[in-house]
Amino acid sequence: MRADVSGHEVLKVTAGKTRCSSISEPPFFRALLISLALLFIGMFLVMPLTAVFLQAFEKGAMAYFAAISETDTLAAVRLTLLTAVIVVPLNLIFGVLAAWAISKFQFFGKNILITFIDLPFAVSPVIAGLIFVILFGLHGLLGPWLMSQNIRIIFAVPGIVLATLFITVPFVARELIPLMQEQGTEEEEAALVLGAGGWKTFFRVTLPNIKWGLIYGVILCSARTIGEFGAVSVVSGHIRGKTLTLPLQVEILYNEYNFSAAFAVASLLTLMALAAMAAKNFVEWKSGRQR
């Protein structure tokens, strides 16, 4: 979703007041459309965003900081970060490998491969959790064997990692494939002809070219990893202090009618989301690309 050079110029020409009246709308109609858009955004984005922080601080700053420094919450922070530290690098490496194979070579079945990479986007998060319960759960296909070996995957950290891996497989690959397809293979070929090895070509030529796309993908992947709820909730078992990630901690606190604590934890996740969006906008600005 990025515009080419001509897109930039068109935008400048069409921007605001430079449009002549015959191809623009009357002022009252403009005002009406802007109000409608603001009303919609206000109701669905600004109000929920504000409400999270209002509810979080409802019982004052002391209660807020008490809630976010509680042992269970800190355990949830640790588990969420642990999951991200495992999941994001794995999907990053996968994304680069898959994008290299898909964008630099022609082979049969490429489109099917891309569709497989996209699959997690089309699958409900609940199903993503379900498949690992079927595979590794107590009544699952490998359950009895795992039981005899005393290995726990479901209702434990490995299950949470697996479900999150499944959900976030496409993020880095999806960003890199179109980018590397656009860049073609000439630069790499030149490097090889000049005597560089395969790895050297990748690190000196390809990597600098895909740097921003890579960072962009990592930001999206991290945000989803930290925030994933549906898939993780199915495999987690909701054991306090052990298998609760932050989004699950929010759910538990809320269902216990501990609303202000739930919103305090939710506010942490909201700050994370805002930081991810700011980082994403920064990368877009830095790489000079438009959505």
Partner 1 sequence: MKKKNRGILPGFGFTIGCTMAYLSLIILIPLSTILIKTTGLGWDQFLETVTSPRVVASYKLSFSSALAAAGINSIFGLIVAWVLVRYRFPFRKVIDGLVDLPFALPTSVAGIVLTTMYAENGLIGRYLEAIGVKVAFTPLGITIALIFIGLPFVVRTVQPVLQDLEPELEETAAILGANRVQTFLKVLLPGLLPAMTTGFALAFARGLGEYGSVVFISGNMPMRTEIVPLLIVTKLEQFDLPGAAAIATVMLVASFIFLLIINLLQWWSGRYRRTA
Distance CA 118, CA 167 (A): 10
Total residues at the site for partner 1 (CB under 8 A)?
Answer: 110
Binder of partner 1 out of 157, 179, 210, 223 (CB under 8 A)? 223
Which residue stretch of 15-23, 66-74, 175-183, 207-215 sits at the interface with partner 1 (rule: CB under 8 A)?
15-23
If one asks whether residue 81 binds partner 1 (CB under 8 A), the answer comes out as: no
If one asks whether residue 215 binds partner 1 (CB under 8 A), the answer comes out as: no
Q: Report 168-197 residues binding partner 1 (CB under 8 A).
A: 169, 185, 188-189, 192-193
If one asks whether residue 135 binds partner 1 (CB under 8 A), the answer comes out as: yes
* Cβ distance to partner 1 smaller for residue 41 or 85: 41
Q: Report 113-132 residues binding partner 1 (CB under 8 A).
A: 113, 115-120, 122-127, 130-132
Count other C-beta atoms under 10 Å from residue 62's C-beta. Answer: 8
| Token couple for 241 | 């202090």
Contact partners, residue 24, CB within 8 Å, separation at least 6: 30
Binder of partner 1 out of 75, 81, 82, 276 (CB under 8 A)? 276
Residue type, 188: E
* Cβ distance to partner 1 smaller for residue 106 or 149: 106
Residue type, 66: A
If one asks whether residue 165 binds partner 1 (CB under 8 A), the answer comes out as: yes
Smallest distance, partner 1 to C-beta of residue 250, A? 5
If one asks whether residue 33 binds partner 1 (CB under 8 A), the answer comes out as: yes
Smallest distance, partner 1 to C-beta of residue 149, A? 19
* Cβ distance to partner 1 smaller for residue 51 or 74: 51
Site string for partner 1, 254-273 (x = CB under 8 A): x----x--xx--x--xx--x
Smallest distance, partner 1 to C-beta of residue 123, A? 6
Largest Cα separation within the chain, whole Å, is 77
Smallest distance, partner 1 to C-beta of residue 57, A? 14
If one asks whether residue 57 binds partner 1 (CB under 8 A), the answer comes out as: no
Binder of partner 1 out of 229, 241, 242, 287 (CB under 8 A)? 229
If one asks whether residue 69 binds partner 1 (CB under 8 A), the answer comes out as: no
Binder of partner 1 out of 159, 213, 217, 247 (CB under 8 A)? 247
If one asks whether residue 226 binds partner 1 (CB under 8 A), the answer comes out as: yes
